[in-house]
Structure 1
């Protein structure tokens, strides 16, 4: 199993290109099931989760080809996928595929909308709390689906097709919003979703669906209206840049010091996180090429933060911020309001010498002058990269084990960091 070895203490200087957003690429690939024509997606990141979803879609009979780089392409530019679901040969998504990644459960929406039936295993994925699918099932039932759960599978049928409805989510749900929007595109009549998630990835998927002939308005706001159409056609769409990768590297620069241009980043996708970094002592400057992050001699200042749905501070940057605050001059507080069990990185950060105490959903971090390198183990995707950030600033050597979590969400992490001066390498086997 691969490990990542880091020798801390080097400042980061240079340019880091930001990849396409995993959290947009996955639902965009799934949206390819809604049409028999070809959907072309540009700037798709090369990630383990993307490869896994290709296997899931292939099981339904979807042909996916990846087009290589062309002359003039930038280094790290994502791949282009041609997704053709002309003939869906199987409407079952089996446990052995779905259990490896939660987002693959979302295929239930386009299969039900287009084929009027689906049998999808209950999902697996990251070990962060329960993350149930009850709100997704509720949304599909509102649209007229008949749903049963049998033997660990959700069996959904809509013999006459789906019908537009009002879907009022009792709490904000990104996955529920994705599923409801995709299912409603081919439903008869109008669907109104209230208390919808406002994340930029929701808007990105809606933009792609509209390019395919859907009629979605209000995406990116709490109220989305979808007028159903009889069929969708092919389109070409570029995946937006990954705001979590952007925030992660911005935090890494704040942690180590230095001066890095995050090429292709869009500040409006993570303004709340950039504001917190500014409070902590980094200088964040948006420009035509992306975002420049600098921290010279200034020390790190403590912050108080609660995670919140967009446009609040992202839960997916909580672990990274905690690593940063471990070296701040004073006590910080981070409250996690989105997922339970999302403090599994605390024990591992403590191995670096970090002083963190937990009280329910709030972590108090008493900053220390210097972390010490240690052998640590990744527990989930975002927690694992917090250990890398800690290792970059720690004295001596850090070995991060179980890095397959990292490969699910960060494209060529060690290449991007080493190009900016970090001493970091992957050790295979």
Structure 2
């Protein structure tokens, strides 16, 4: 079976399972069985390994669809509406299928539209899901925590399983739980997860986040829009995906205003309707392919990308020695020849340099002449992927307690790490295992850059955030063996 056939079949399976879940109301036991089967069928997109013959420039055009970090949250937002929602430009990734499975477990009917990447979500029959079925999704995504507010509004209760996700940091959910308590939620921690109720309904609150967390900001937005009264959120995240989510909620009838200094005001409304929205493009995937073009001395046109949301990355890309052209339908990234230059980068919240951008770029920096320094201030365990690069010949030293550097501005958080990359170092093929989503794609870039053959295993993690990445490698002329 080809890769394309697998994707089509799995998308059709989402529609079929959603319809079956709706019909299964006649038999509670049958419904639970169908949903559990669906949950298990959604996780895998790819086989476990790929063998890459490196040293070949990537050249050609690929398309990037909607952002993982918006599409999944927009699907959750559909729970808030009284009428169906239509989400366009949805990427075919496993995180989307996990959320679709969770929505179906709660009675949301999901169907695919006429256009590729178009999903219709009907929340007319939202219901309580069984904990055993929700548990089937535990560990596959961190999105379930965002179901809390919408489910409390619709059903008066919610259950959240133990959360999974990439092993890049502690990612505590205390910010989420504290915010929900401020709205009036009663939280009980159970061995299998967290149970929430709202015996007196949810009321607007004044909330200040200790850190401008994207997830906690989304939690407040999804809860405040139907909470009684006004909510003031201070120290909010303002990423483009957050702004796009606010646009979706406004289309649904919400009243939300963004003020200076990371302040967001939300006036609760009695009810919301469905939305029709095209998801913003995936900045992280776009930057990953750009880094791949630079590392392999290639030339890649990334369709569907817009300049404004990429400005910080584009500045660094140019400083390193890459070049780009902005077009109406995307951005062309290429290596113009000559030596790449070292840089000093500090990851930060928007509008700073994204933590998800540094991992793919590190591979290109192994080919720069001189010493580059990356200060990671967002996640405390994000340099684990460099072990494989060192195995392949890179000169990278990680400082777990951070590194004093006169070129940077200020120390951002109590925890941080730093990586010093000295180049250029030729990379050679090796057997490597994907550790997390962005680190995994970085390993693909390293294998494509290296001379000789590499075997990359545990590919399923990459499918969480990169749509059809095997087919895109083919389109760009990569030399590899992959059995789907």
Asked if the contact 2:92–2:117 (Cα under 8 Å) also holds between the matched residues in 1, the reply is yes
The aligned residue for residue 275 of structure 1 is 315
- The question of 1:197 aligning with 2:237 is answered yes
- The question of 1:60 aligning with 2:100 is answered no
The aligned residue for residue 195 of structure 2 is 155
- The question of 1:397 aligning with 2:435 is answered no
Asked if the contact 2:144–2:161 (Cα under 8 Å) also holds between the matched residues in 1, the reply is no
The aligned residue for residue 353 of structure 1 is 393
Aligned 1:244-283 pairs, distance under 5 A: 244-283=284-323
Aligned 1:80-119 pairs, distance under 5 A: 80-90=118-128, 94-119=134-159
Task: Give, in angstroms, the shift of residue 219 of structure 1.
Answer: 8.0
- Distance in 1 (CA, whole Å) between partners of 2:255 and 2:192 is 34
1:173 to 210, 213, 219: 213
Asked if the contact 1:114–1:186 (Cα under 8 Å) also holds between the matched residues in 2, the reply is no
- Distance in 2 (CA, whole Å) between partners of 1:107 and 1:272 is 32
- Distance in 1 (CA, whole Å) between partners of 2:154 and 2:382 is 36
SS at match of 2:221: helix
1:330 to 370, 387, 391: 370
- Distance in 2 (CA, whole Å) between partners of 1:226 and 1:257 is 47
- Distance in 1 (CA, whole Å) between partners of 2:425 and 2:129 is 56
1:36 to 82, 85, 90: 82
- Distance in 1 (CA, whole Å) between partners of 2:482 and 2:272 is 43
The aligned residue for residue 57 of structure 2 is 11
SS at match of 2:216: helix
- Distance in 1 (CA, whole Å) between partners of 2:377 and 2:152 is 32
C-alpha distance 128-117 of structure 1, shift in aligned 2 (>3 A): same
Task: Give, in angstroms, the shift of residue 418 of structure 1.
Answer: 2.1
Asked if the contact 1:203–1:219 (Cα under 8 Å) also holds between the matched residues in 2, the reply is no
2:434 to 371, 374, 378: 378
The aligned residue for residue 462 of structure 2 is 406
Task: Give, in angstroms, the shift of residue 314 of structure 1.
Answer: 0.8
C-alpha distance 343-302 of structure 1, shift in aligned 2 (>3 A): same
Task: Give, in angstroms, the shift of residue 423 of structure 1.
Answer: 1.6
Long gaps (5+) in structure 1: 70-77
- The question of 1:215 aligning with 2:255 is answered yes
- Distance in 1 (CA, whole Å) between partners of 2:258 and 2:84 is 26
Long gaps (5+) in structure 2: 1-46, 401-416
Asked if the contact 1:98–1:105 (Cα under 8 Å) also holds between the matched residues in 2, the reply is no
Aligned 1:290-301 pairs, distance under 5 A: 290-301=330-341
- Distance in 2 (CA, whole Å) between partners of 1:104 and 1:386 is 27
Task: Give, in angstroms, the shift of residue 255 of structure 1.
Answer: 0.9
The aligned residue for residue 418 of structure 2 is 362
Q: Number of aligned pairs?
A: 420
Asked if the contact 2:144–2:160 (Cα under 8 Å) also holds between the matched residues in 1, the reply is no
Task: Give, in angstroms, the shift of residue 284 of structure 1.
Answer: 2.1
1:203-258 Cα offsets, whole Å, 9 max, x none, are: 11111111111111218971111111111111210011000001001111111123
C-alpha distance 220-282 of structure 1, shift in aligned 2 (>3 A): farther
* TM-score normalised by the chain length of structure 1: 0.94
- Distance in 1 (CA, whole Å) between partners of 2:354 and 2:94 is 22
1:328-374 Cα offsets, whole Å, 9 max, x none, are: 11111111111111111011111211111111211111113421111
C-alpha distance 208-140 of structure 1, shift in aligned 2 (>3 A): same
Task: Give, in angstroms, the shift of residue 296 of structure 1.
Answer: 2.3
Task: Give the number of the structure whose residues are more often helix, by fraction.
Answer: 2
- Distance in 2 (CA, whole Å) between partners of 1:174 and 1:113 is 21
SS at match of 1:216: strand
Task: Give, in angstroms, the shift of residue 12 of structure 1.
Answer: 2.2
1:285 to 312, 325, 332: 325
C-alpha distance 291-68 of structure 1, shift in aligned 2 (>3 A): same
SS at match of 1:188: coil
C-alpha distance 91-161 of structure 1, shift in aligned 2 (>3 A): farther
Asked if the contact 2:374–2:419 (Cα under 8 Å) also holds between the matched residues in 1, the reply is yes
Asked if the contact 1:197–1:221 (Cα under 8 Å) also holds between the matched residues in 2, the reply is no
C-alpha distance 129-107 of structure 1, shift in aligned 2 (>3 A): same
SS at match of 2:314: helix
- Distance in 1 (CA, whole Å) between partners of 2:262 and 2:100 is 31
Task: Give, in angstroms, the shift of residue 89 of structure 1.
Answer: 1.6
Asked if the contact 1:2–1:427 (Cα under 8 Å) also holds between the matched residues in 2, the reply is no
Asked if the contact 1:197–1:220 (Cα under 8 Å) also holds between the matched residues in 2, the reply is no
